[in-house]
Structure 1
Amino acid sequence: MRLVAVAAIGLLALTGCGKKGRHSDGGGLGSGFVSGGGGGGDTPLSTPSGVPTDLPTDLPSGLPSYTPSYTPSYTPSPSYSYSAPPTYNSDGTNDVSATGCDYDETTHSFQYTLTIRNPESQSMRYGISVKWTDQSTAGLLGSDYESVTVMAGSSQTVKATSYRYLTEQTSFTCKVDSVLKFPS
């Protein structure tokens, strides 16, 4: 009987049953169980097999440092700048000179020779309005509209013409009424 009692006490000592603080109910930190465990388990989690437990704490000194032999250089992409279109005066009156205000009796037409000089750095289109007026009555005798393109820095000559049959001696004036210009 004594032998059975000694064996039972020995068995209890080996398994750890009956000792306080050996088991946990899962509540509280440091209980030996992973957070979120089912609580009340008897066996703590163990380390998976094959994972080394003795990892090095510092790196060895004297390791060779790697410096690349090719250092890439950065080439910036080309920058684009916006340049405003050239400015110009849309009133081209100063670009036009006129000569030869006349009436041709054989063709029954008023005539006026216009010379357009384009001072701009681009080709321009000119719209020129010409009027012939009776000096005594200030009445309109004729009109013409010429549309002409003049290359940059050059000049061009055109003849404005208005047909009208005159039955009596008439005194008249020729006038460039308006000149509008715009890039062509």
Structure 2
Amino acid sequence: MRLVAVAAIGLLALTGCGKKGRHSSGSGGFVSGGAGDAPLSTPSGLPTDLPTGLPSGVPSYTPGYTPSYTPSPSYSYSTAPSYDTDARNDISASGCDYNESTSSLEYTLTVNNNETQSMRFSISIVWNDNADQGLLGSDYQSVTVAPGSSQTVKATSYRTLYKATTFTCKIQSAYKFAN
């Protein structure tokens, strides 16, 4: 504590803070003393014996263990399951027909999941007129099938036919994704 006080007083004495009559000349540097300035002297009452070593009897602390750094765990990545996303070979279809009572084109699809995980199937179906190759209707089905299972869905497109029409049913696209 005494050392801090001595340093602070010494700093004040060296910089000339607190003295009257000193003004800056505007040159931006230190101002030298004028004719009437007294030389700087050591303030009275300051101790002359400053401590030199550490005080005795201060306990030292050494931890009973050595702290160590453990890096974050390493992760192992498994490869993504390999399967063909094209699901047209996983679907069997039957019953391409027109239901007059409901005025709807119908197509029955059986979706088989031969994978070892649950899969979501996205299927787009179209009905085309055989005479002019025009589009009669379309439907989209999304179905989730458990591993090793199959599920039957009915694709439907509502359309009133006014004349005898021959048409074909077609799975336009079919994709499967891990669920």
Give the whole-Å Cα distance in 2 for the aligned partners of 1:163 and 1:79: 56
Aligned partner (choices 89, 108, 115) of residue 110 of structure 2 = 115
CA distances 1:1-48 after superposition (whole Å, capped 9, x unpaired): xxxxxxxxxxxxxxxxxxxxxxxxxxxxxxxxxxxxxxxxxxxxxxxx
Identity %: 62
Give the whole-Å Cα distance in 1 for the aligned partners of 2:76 and 2:134: 55
Shift of 1:151: 0.8
> Match for 1:121: what amino acid?
T
Shift of 1:132: 0.4
Number of equivalenced pairs = 107
> Match for 1:154: what amino acid?
S
> Match for 2:82: what amino acid?
T
Is 1:136 the counterpart of 2:131? The answer is yes
CA distances 1:122-178 after superposition (whole Å, capped 9, x unpaired): 111000000000001000000000000011111000000000011110010001111
Per the alignment, residue 97 of structure 2 pairs with 102
Is 1:180 the counterpart of 2:178? The answer is no
Per the alignment, residue 8 of structure 2 pairs with none
Per the alignment, residue 86 of structure 2 pairs with 91
Per the alignment, residue 126 of structure 1 pairs with 121
Provide the secondary structure at the position in 2 that maps to 1:165. Answer: coil
Aligned partner (choices 132, 137, 145) of residue 140 of structure 2 = 145
Question: Normalising to structure 2: TM-score of the pair?
Answer: 0.57
Aligned positions of 1:15-94 closer than 5 A: 81-94=76-89
Give the whole-Å Cα distance in 1 for the aligned partners of 2:75 and 2:164: 66
Give the whole-Å Cα distance in 2 for the aligned partners of 1:81 and 1:135: 55
Question: Gaps spanning 5+ residues in structure 2: where?
Answer: 1-72
Aligned positions of 1:158-177 closer than 5 A: 158-177=153-172
Output the aligned Cα RMSD: 1.5
Shift of 1:90: 0.7
